[in-house]
Amino acid sequence: MKVVEHYDRATEPLISFEIIPPKRGGSVSDVFESLDKVVDKVKPPFIDVTYHAAEAHVEEKKDGTLRRVIRRKRPGTIGLCAAILHRYGIDPVPHLICEGFSKEESEDALIELNYLGIHNVLAIRGDNTGSQISLNLNGTVNKYAIDLVNQIQNMNKGEYLEDINNAESSNFCVGVAGYPEKHFEAPNIDWDIKRLKQKVDAGGDYIVTQMFFDNNAFFAFVDKCRAAGIDVPIVPGMKILTTPGHLVRLPRNFHLNIPDALANEVSSDEKNSKNIGIEWAKQQSLELMEAGVPGLHYYIMGSPDPALKVIDFLKKK
C-alpha cells in the first residue's frame, strides 16, 4: 500500500520509523532484532530505510603506493527493504538520493524496487560530505531532489531515460523532505518553502520533516506551507536525544536548534540525559498528536528502545 493511502485510511495518527542498513561487513541480525521489537509493540504501517552514497578515500598499498578506493559504507538498502516487506508484511520506504548516484543508477534502483513490489520511495538530495562521488562518472546526475522527483514521475508515466517502446509505467508514491527550521543552504524559511512547493508540484505526495525539538517551529512551518498552497500530508520527523553529545552533534550535523530548556537540563544532569530526552520526546509527541498531525515518524537508527518508551506513554493517553 502507498504511504498516502495509509494516511488517508488512518483514524488516528500513525507511528512509523526510519532505520539505517548495517555497516559494510555488519550483521543484519541486529537490524532484525530491533525491528522485531518495533513490530511486536507497534506494527508500523511502513518503515523507511536510508540510502548512502559511495565515498572515496585513499588507502596505502603494501608497496607504499597510494590508491583511491570507492565504496559504500552501508550498502543493502534495497535488499533490506525486500526483507522488511516479506519478513514482516510491512511497506518499506527506501530513500533515493541524488548525491553519489547517476540518473542511470537511480533508474536501475527504481526498476529493481518495482520488480520487488515496493512502490514507495523518499526522494532527497542527500548532503555532500566531500567524499561522496558517483560510481558512474560518465552518467547524468540529478542535482536537486526536484530533479529526482521528476525522474520518478516520468517513470510513473512510462518514460525512461532512453526511448523504450511500450515501456511499463511504474507506480511509485513519492515522499519529499521538509525543514521546519529551513534547509541550512536556504537564505530564509520562505525561500525554502517555495522550493518545497516546487517539489510537491512536481509530484511529491507527502512531506516528512527533518528532526526538530521545538514544536512551535513545526507548527509555524506547517502554517507557512498551507499558506503557500501545499496541501499534502506533513509528517513530523522525531529524534530522541539520548546522550550529552547530541547537544553538539545534532545541531552540527542536522543544522537544527535545541531549546534552552532541554539543553540546560541535559547539561546540568548529563548522567540522566537519556531519561531527560525521553521525557522531552513524550511531551513533544503528545502535543503533536493532540494538534492532529497525520503521524509521528521516529528516527531510531540504532536502538528503538527510547522511541518505544515514548510510544508506550502515548498509548496510555
What span, in angstroms and rounded, lies between the C-alpha atoms of 19 and 139?
A: 29
Judged by DSSP in three states, 137 sits in coil
State residue 22's pLDDT score. Answer: 85
Quickly list H helices, the chain: 3-9, 28-41, 77-88, 103-116, 145-156, 189-202, 215-227, 246-254, 260-268, 273-290, 305-315
State residue 55's pLDDT score. Answer: 56
State residue 130's pLDDT score. Answer: 47
Q: Who's near 290: CB < 8 A, 6+ residues apart?
A: none
Which residues span the domain enclosing 34?
3-315
State residue 317's pLDDT score. Answer: 78
State residue 117's pLDDT score. Answer: 96
Q: How large is the C-alpha radius of gyration of the chain?
A: 20
Q: What is the DSSP string of 286-312?
A: HHHHHTT-SEEEEEEES--HHHHHHHH
Which tens digits make up the pLDDT trace of 80-91?
999 999 999 999
State residue 313's pLDDT score. Answer: 97
Q: Who's near 314: CB < 8 A, 6+ residues apart?
A: 282, 285, 286, 289
Q: Please identify every stretch of the chain with a pLDDT value under 70, giving residue numbers as ranges.
A: 52-74, 127-139
| Count: domains in the chain | 1
Quickly list H helices, 129-176: 145-156
CATH of the domain at 287: 3.20.20.220
State residue 99's pLDDT score. Answer: 82
What span, in angstroms and rounded, lies between the C-alpha atoms of 253 and 247?
A: 11
User: What is the largest distance, in Å, between two alpha-carbon atoms of the chain?
Assistant: 66
State residue 101's pLDDT score. Answer: 86
Nearest alpha-carbon partner for 244 in 214, 280, 278, 270: 270
Q: Who's near 82: CB < 8 A, 6+ residues apart?
A: 92, 116, 118
Judged by DSSP in three states, 209 sits in strand
